[in-house]
Structures are given as C-alpha cells and as structure tokens.
C-alpha cells in the first residue's frame, strides 16, 4: 500500500490538500494557496538535521630538553592562581587578586605554546591608558580619579586556545513585506509572505578562548581583537620580565565557547544578506564546522589592580593594540541628582510640546 | 491626559539619557560573536532564494465621524 504524506499549512497548521481547480495546494481551513515547489521546500525545511561541530584539539607541543630550566611556578594561596615566571622575574603578588604569592617550585612543563604575540606596549603606556580611561566619565566618583593609585601593574602572557574552522550554514527564514493604504471607509494592510533561504560557507581563523579559569573570561574577551599576523614562534626568552599565566582550561573545555561565537557569526552574516523585508524570523538553521583546528598561544595583557572603598577593581590593556577596559564605580548621589535635573528639563519640554499640540 | 503622558515621557527620556551616560562606566562584556575572525573574502553563498508563499489582506473600518 502506498504511503500517505501530510503537508501542514504554514499559516494555520491545518492539513493542506491539492486543489484541482486552482492546480495548487490549498488549505481548506484558511484558504491559503501554495505552489507545489513551495510546499516541497517547506517540507525539506521541517526535516530535522543535526548540526555538526567538531574539532581537532591536538594543539601545543612538548618542551625540548632543558627548555624549562629556570622557569618557576608561583602559587597564590588566596585564590589558587598559578603563574609562571623565569629566573630573572620575581613575582611578589597575584595578578588576579593582588595577594602575595609564594614560589612553589620549578615549572615542570605543561604544553609548550605554539605561538606568542610579544608585548608591544610598555608599562608606561598602560599607566597612560588607565588615566585616559578615567577621563570623561560623568558619574565616576571624583575621589576615585583624585586618589589615582594603581596597586599593581603586571604584564601577563595569558594562555588562549585559538580555533580555525570552515563553517557551512543553511538557514531558512519566514519574511514579510507589508503594504498599507486606505480609502474613505477602510484601512488596508497587505502582507506578502516569503520563504527565504541562505546557504553558503565562511571561514574563521584564530577565534580565541581564554585558557585560564583565574583570568575573567569577560575581561579577556573585552580586550580583543589581537592581530595574529604579529604572532611569532614561541621562545622562552619572550617571558623575560613578564609573567605567564598557566593554562588550566583544556581545549576540549573551550570548544563550546568557540562553537557559540562562530555559530552567532554565521547567523549574523546570513541575516545581514536578507534585506528588503519588513520582518524576518528564522525558521530552521543548520551549521556544520569542517577542518576544526586548535592552537595553544600566549597573548600579552597588562593587568592593573586598584582598591577603592573596600572593593577591588581589575583593569586590562591589550599589550599589542593598547585597547583598555575595566568597569568603574558609579557615584550614586551624582547619578540621582542628574536624573532629577534631566527629569525636570525633559518634563518641561514635553509639557510645552503637549500644550502647543493641543 | 495629554499632560500626564507628557510628564511620563519626560521622565522616561531623562532615565534613558542618564542610563546612556552611566553605560560609559562599563566596558567589560562577553563578545557576542566572532566577526573579527572571519577570513576576508571567505563568505560565499551558494543558495540565495526568496520564494513567494501567500498573501493576506486585512481591512479595518474607519471610525465614521
């Protein structure tokens, strides 16, 4: 016996049948009509397919003999952070929480980084950028910028996992074009519904995910982007004068974050290509990643700590580009006064407009 | 009634202006996507279709004065 196939109406969900008069598919419940091709396309879109996102995470390499001689590990007993420094660089306080650190022993070799971006900007530049960061902030407490002290500025090489991938996406949308008009008796709204499809590919390179659980992920993502074209093969000499954060988040643990960012970029890129409609909603999406590769690299970041009113504030500057980030406190009294003043001005303007309009 | 609406709108606009100025104090945020890492020239579409499905017309009667 043959198999019965049901097609659902995209408008009302009812069962669509072939109308011999119209020679098209027609819904008996809402009278919507569709071509055979349109129904086939919608049927294909309903089939459930699994997005495939998988990675090759064999990043990093083995240290050569003697390469880790002179590298020390420092442990912070307060937050558990571990940092690496060479013989010539003493680490006295933790870059994450500012508490004293103790040397626990020699570095016995995790993965050797594949690449490193050396520091391009010095400590003096970090201080200058910090002062610039405080300028023009309307609700920043005056005492914060007057007191103006930074407890510590440290240059830290932060471990990152970098992901390369070719993404292939196939996204279907329901889009609507509206037209309005009126006559003496009625107002009309005409809505034309379209099935829109975008399928294609785009390549991603060096998508970074922070490999240290102690370094706040939002702080590290805020100092992006880093210019990978300036990365060089790792040599221990680059660590001299700086600290290196020890990775404690594996590539496998970082995959989800990389997947999420790449998926969002594919969705955004495809969505930008759908133009000329009044509303667009996504119906189905299928994203596959091919040739996923991960690299283990060190990126330069200046970390600045300050304490104010019993609270610690952490700032970061991209050691390559100079991008400076860090949340600042808000003067609640100044904010409240400003809201009150703006309210008075805006209400007066609104009342004047309302008076003239009436 | 218009004046009440004007007062409410004025207060809302005041809060919006203050919120915009306050937002400059926050600069730390997770990245939404990976737009900075898309390889230049790698975006290629193999299917770009827009198929008309159906039309709906709604009409509402105007209030007769």
pLDDT at A10 over 80: no
Give residue A236's pLDDT.
Answer: 77
Q: Which two tokens stand for residue A34?
A: 């569709």
Q: Which pTM does this prediction carry? A: 0.76
pLDDT per residue over A141-161, tens digit each? 888 877 666 777 889 999 999
Segments of chain B scoring below 70 in pLDDT: 64-65
For A254, counting Cβ atoms within 10 Å of its Cβ (0-12 exposed, 13-18 middle, 19+ buried), the class is: buried
Distance CA A289, CA A259 (A): 9
Most confident listed range (A75-89, A106-120, A312-326):
A312-326
* 3-class SS shares of chain B: helix, strand, coil, % to 5: 40, 30, 30
Nearest residue of chain A to residue B54 (CA atoms): A193
Query: In A, which residues are within 8 Å of B57 by CB distance?
Result: 188-191
Q: Averaged over A73-102, what is the pLDDT?
A: 67
Our CA-based measurement puts residue B20 at a distance from the nearest CA of chain A, in whole angstroms, of: 10
The rounded distance, in Å, linking the Cα atoms of A190 and A178 is: 6
DSSP, collapsed to helix, strand or coil, labels residue A238 as helix
Q: What is the mean pLDDT of residues A257-284?
A: 94
* Chain A residue with minimum CA distance to B26: A327
Considering only CB atoms, which chain B residues are within 8 Å of A171? none
Burial class (CB in 10 A: 0-12, 13-18, 19+), A69: exposed
Spatial separation of the C-alpha atoms in residues A159 and A186, rounded to whole Å = 66
Residues 6+ apart with CB under 8 A from A316: A219, A220, A222, A223, A301, A302, A303, A304, A324, A325, A326
Give residue limits of the domains in chain A. 1-47, 71-134+146-169+197-327
- In three-state secondary structure terms, A89 is coil
Q: How far is CA A176 from CA A171, A275, A281, A355, in A?
A: 16, 11, 9, 39
């Amino acid at each position: 016996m043959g198999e019965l196939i049901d097609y659902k109406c995209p408008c009302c969900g009812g069962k669509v049948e072939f109308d011999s008069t119209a020679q098209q598919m027609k819904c008996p419940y809402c009278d919507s009509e569709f071509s055979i091709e349109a129904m086939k396309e919608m049927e294909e879109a309903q089939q459930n397919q699994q997005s495939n996102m998988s990675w090759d995470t064999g990043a990093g390499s083995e240290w050569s003999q003697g390469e880790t001689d002179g590298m020390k590990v420092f442990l912070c007993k307060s937050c558990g952070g571990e940092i690496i420094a060479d013989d010539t660089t003493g680490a006295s306080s933790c870059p994450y929480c500012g508490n004293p650190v103790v040397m626990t022993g020699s570095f016995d070799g995790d993965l050797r980084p594949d690449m490193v971006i050396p520091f391009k900007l010095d400590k003096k530049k970090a201080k200058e950028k910090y002062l610039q960061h405080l300028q023009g902030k309307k609700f920043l407490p005056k005492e914060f910028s007057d007191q103006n002290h930074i407890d510590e500025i440290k240059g830290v090489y932060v471990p990152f996992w970098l992901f390369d991938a070719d993404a292939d996406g196939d996204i279907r949308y329901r889009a609507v074009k509206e037209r309005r008009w009126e006559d003496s008796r009625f107002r009309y709204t005409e809505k034309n519904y379209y099935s829109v499809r975008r399928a294609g590919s785009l390549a991603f390179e060096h998508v970074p995910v922070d490999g240290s659980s102690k370094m706040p992920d939002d702080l590290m993502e805020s100092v992006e982007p880093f210019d990978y074209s300036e990365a060089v093969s790792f040599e221990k000499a680059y660590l001299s004068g700086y600290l290196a954060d020890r990775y404690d988040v594996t590539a496998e643990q970082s995959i989800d974050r990389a997947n999420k960012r790449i998926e969002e970029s594919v969705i955004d890129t495809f969505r930008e290509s759908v133009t000329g409609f009044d509303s667009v909603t996504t119906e189905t999406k299928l994203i596959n990643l091919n040739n996923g590769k991960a690299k283990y690299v060190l990126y330069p970041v200046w970390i600045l700590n300050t304490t104010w009113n019993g609270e610690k504030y952490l700032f970061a500057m991209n050691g390559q580009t100079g991008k400076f980030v860090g949340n600042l406190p808000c003067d609640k009294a100044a904010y409240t006064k400003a809201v009150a003043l703006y309210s008075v001005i805006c209400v007066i303007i609104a009342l004047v407009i309302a008076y003239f309009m009436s | 009634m218009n004046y009440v609406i004007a007062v409410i709108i004025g207060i809302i606009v005041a809060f919006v202006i203050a919120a915009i100025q306050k937002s400059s104090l926050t600069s730390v945020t997770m990245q939404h996507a990976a737009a900075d890492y898309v390889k230049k020239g790698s975006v290629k579409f193999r299917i770009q279709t827009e198929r008309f499905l159906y039309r709906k017309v709604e009409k509402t009667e105007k209030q007769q004065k």
